[in-house]
Chains A and B, each alone.
Chain A
């Protein structure tokens, strides 16, 4: 699920950036630093959308670096149990398949794949129904439901299922 929230961060800026563009430099450095990171608490930071407030800088002794407390708005993505996501399959093996929904990695184990789909090994390992009409392989797009999440301080990993109504392949690259 996406959230638009305000976060705060202490940015350290090298003295060489001081000048007319200090603020721009600060913002671009902020974006470089936080976008794409993941915190267990808020999820993945997708994009910084604005700066709320930049506090007074504090010059560090010895280094000349200046620390600015920056409040910024950002979009975060946090997967939840039970959430339905669309994801791209990245890897298929006999244990199941891995998929990515943006920054989130999701593993779907083979017993959460519908019973009528079977693993076919080979050059392009895939899960196929007995009549061959549906095929899950690398780069397939699937809709899945998150069954569990593992949230560490800097990492979120999910397991999902496609064994439910309206879940499964939504766009097969082979046929599209």
Chain B
């Protein structure tokens, strides 16, 4: 989603801001001071960030702050970025850096010497994707419109401008503008002689020349229009691609900071940034309606109470499925974050559950197209492990039965699990992660080795888990 928008930004940067110079026109451009293309660099850098402090950005880009600021101001005027200025103390700066630390692209270098900041005005900037989309569309529309109009001589209302006071009139005012002294139009306010507004592209060199010039002008316009269509095609394609996608929204600086640092804190600092980035986009912080569901599982385990508090807390902060490209080695992730579908709850140790498992697998494969190959391997590994487990299963079965005996309605609870798994499928993406904490909290008295395993999942050995992990890492 963000990728598409980022691509849009990059295309736009190259299409419209490629030859932008931040220097004033009065300075002669030598090879050294020629900084065309810097705007593209800045925009590209911004696509890799969210809110960023301008000094940090300057440092990262090895640009002078002033120079960067000039470019950013220009982009602000172009409505491409939003900026935020605030006076802040070291504390405020820390807040920002905490937020940065929580984002994927937080650059560690950017946080040096944060402590010595004392009530300075800091500026932050961020791409405004929603607006960019509109700005680009509007720009294209205007370009096309202007060329077409000129081609067909369609902008019928001629405009006049007063060279002295800059007041503008159009042909509908003509009656008021004629003076009786001469035949020209005169400005109402300063009586200056009006000039025909010529904002035409092709009319510069062609004065009121002969037919030949006119025809050449038409050809030139047509040519221009065609060239525009061809050269801006990628941009237009990207626009249409992006059309139905939700816009990545970072919110205001404050909101973003709060969210990012909250997400960072919630992940205990060890899940890095990628999560918080994900959670910022889709996640609105209030998805606790699941606590009811999970309670059912806990009841079944017969170990309620203990895990709940922690669970709901982690839930609220938790964890979206990470796309495979975001997973890097060294990240501490739960399986749910890797996008693996949970099977624990669906297996209650009966032989029927195995078939249920298969359907589950199939569903999840369709859901996660990108994980298909992974899924295949997973299935292979799973069957291997399953055989091996079949023996273990007997033992576990006995164990489970004993617990179910403790439970007043063992058969009922068995069904309950089935129901539960179905519901899981239905709202898969939402519910997947919610169970992690159950396992992770270690609330089961029946836990074997892996903390991530639920009671019902005990038949899935740790080795199996490891297999998946390996596959994951390679693919990622």
Q: Do A and B come from one complex?
A: yes
- List residues of chain A with CB within 8 A of the CB of B157: 147-148, 159
Contact assessment for B174 and A109 in the assembled complex, using a CB-CB cutoff below 8 Å: yes
Closest B-chain residue to A161, C-beta based?
A: B156
- List residues of chain B with CB within 8 A of the CB of A92: 183
Please tell me if A14 contacts chain B, counting CB pairs below 8 Å. Answer: no
Among A98, A109, A118, the residue within 8 A (CB) of B158 is A109
Report B171 CB to chain A, min CB distance, Å.
5
Contact assessment for B184 and A93 in the assembled complex, using a CB-CB cutoff below 8 Å: yes
How does the 8 Å CB contact mask read for A91-120 relative to B, with 1 for contact and 0 for none? 111111010000001010111100110100
Contact assessment for B153 and A163 in the assembled complex, using a CB-CB cutoff below 8 Å: yes
A152 to B156, CA, bound (A): 20
Contact assessment for A159 and B196 in the assembled complex, using a CB-CB cutoff below 8 Å: no
Contact assessment for A105 and B153 in the assembled complex, using a CB-CB cutoff below 8 Å: no
Closest A-chain residue to B200, C-beta based?
A: A111
B residues 201-254 near A (Cβ < 8 Å) are 208, 211, 214
A160 to B266, CA, bound (A): 69
A residues 59-116 near B (Cβ < 8 Å) are 91-96, 98, 105, 107, 109-112, 115-116
A95-B174, A157-B175 known; A111 vs B211 contact (CB < 8 Å): no
Contact assessment for A107 and B183 in the assembled complex, using a CB-CB cutoff below 8 Å: no
Contact assessment for B208 and A111 in the assembled complex, using a CB-CB cutoff below 8 Å: no
Please tell me if A57 contacts chain B, counting CB pairs below 8 Å. Answer: no
Closest A-chain residue to B195, C-beta based?
A: A95
- List residues of chain A with CB within 8 A of the CB of B184: 93-95
Please tell me if B300 contacts chain A, counting CB pairs below 8 Å. Answer: no
Report B194 CB to chain A, min CB distance, Å.
8
Please tell me if A36 contacts chain B, counting CB pairs below 8 Å. Answer: no
A148-B157, A159-B156, A159-B157 known; A93 vs B171 contact (CB < 8 Å): no
How does the 8 Å CB contact mask read for A12-44 relative to B, with 1 for contact and 0 for none? 000000000000000000000000000000000
Interface size on A, residues (CB 8 A): 24
Please tell me if B61 contacts chain A, counting CB pairs below 8 Å. Answer: no
Closest A-chain residue to B198, C-beta based?
A: A111
How does the 8 Å CB contact mask read for B170-182 relative to A, with 1 for contact and 0 for none? 0110110010000
- List residues of chain A with CB within 8 A of the CB of B183: 91-95, 125
Please tell me if A150 contacts chain B, counting CB pairs below 8 Å. Answer: yes
Contact assessment for A98 and B174 in the assembled complex, using a CB-CB cutoff below 8 Å: yes
Among B185, B196, B208, the residue within 8 A (CB) of A118 is B208
- List residues of chain B with CB within 8 A of the CB of A94: 183-184
- List residues of chain B with CB within 8 A of the CB of A161: 156
- List residues of chain B with CB within 8 A of the CB of A91: 178, 183
Report B467 CB to chain A, min CB distance, Å.
75
- List residues of chain A with CB within 8 A of the CB of B175: 98, 105, 107, 157
- Determine the main DSSP class of A at the interface with B: strand
Closest A-chain residue to B177, C-beta based?
A: A95
- List residues of chain A with CB within 8 A of the CB of B160: 95
Report B431 CB to chain A, min CB distance, Å.
61
Report B227 CB to chain A, min CB distance, Å.
24
Residue from B153, B171, B178 with most neighbouring chain A CB atoms (10 Å)? B171
Contact assessment for B158 and A157 in the assembled complex, using a CB-CB cutoff below 8 Å: no
- Determine the main DSSP class of B at the interface with A: mixed
Report A103 CB to chain B, min CB distance, Å.
13
- List residues of chain B with CB within 8 A of the CB of A150: 172
A159 to B185, CA, bound (A): 15
Contact assessment for B211 and A159 in the assembled complex, using a CB-CB cutoff below 8 Å: no
- List residues of chain B with CB within 8 A of the CB of A105: 175
A159 to B184, CA, bound (A): 17
B residues 133-176 near A (Cβ < 8 Å) are 153, 156-158, 160, 171-172, 174-175
Contact assessment for A111 and B178 in the assembled complex, using a CB-CB cutoff below 8 Å: no
How does the 8 Å CB contact mask read for A148-159 relative to B, with 1 for contact and 0 for none? 101000000101
A109 to B156, CA, bound (A): 9
Report A44 CB to chain B, min CB distance, Å.
15
- List residues of chain B with CB within 8 A of the CB of A98: 174-175, 178
Closest B-chain residue to A94, C-beta based?
A: B183
Contact assessment for A107 and B174 in the assembled complex, using a CB-CB cutoff below 8 Å: yes
A93-B184, A95-B184, A115-B211 known; A148 vs B174 contact (CB < 8 Å): no
- List residues of chain A with CB within 8 A of the CB of B172: 107, 148, 150, 157, 159
A91-B178, A95-B196 known; A147 vs B208 contact (CB < 8 Å): no
Report B217 CB to chain A, min CB distance, Å.
10
A95-B184, A159-B156 known; A109 vs B171 contact (CB < 8 Å): yes
A94 to B195, CA, bound (A): 11
- List residues of chain A with CB within 8 A of the CB of B178: 91, 93, 98
Report B104 CB to chain A, min CB distance, Å.
55
A159 to B175, CA, bound (A): 10
Closest A-chain residue to B213, C-beta based?
A: A115
Chain B residues in the interface with A (C-beta under 8 A):
153, 156-158, 160, 171-172, 174-175, 178, 183-185, 196, 208, 211, 214
Q: Could you list 21 examples of A-B contacts with CB < 8 Å? A: A91-B183, A94-B184, A95-B183, A95-B184, A98-B175, A98-B178, A107-B171, A107-B174, A109-B174, A110-B158, A115-B211, A116-B211, A118-B208, A147-B157, A148-B157, A148-B172, A150-B172, A157-B172, A159-B156, A159-B174, A163-B153
Closest 10 CB pairs of A and B: A93-B183, A107-B174, A109-B158, A150-B172, A147-B156, A159-B171, A109-B171, A115-B214, A157-B175, A105-B175
15 more contacts with CB within 8 A, not counting A159-B157, A159-B171, are A93-B183, A93-B184, A95-B174, A95-B184, A98-B175, A107-B174, A109-B158, A111-B158, A125-B183, A147-B156, A147-B157, A148-B157, A148-B171, A161-B156, A163-B153
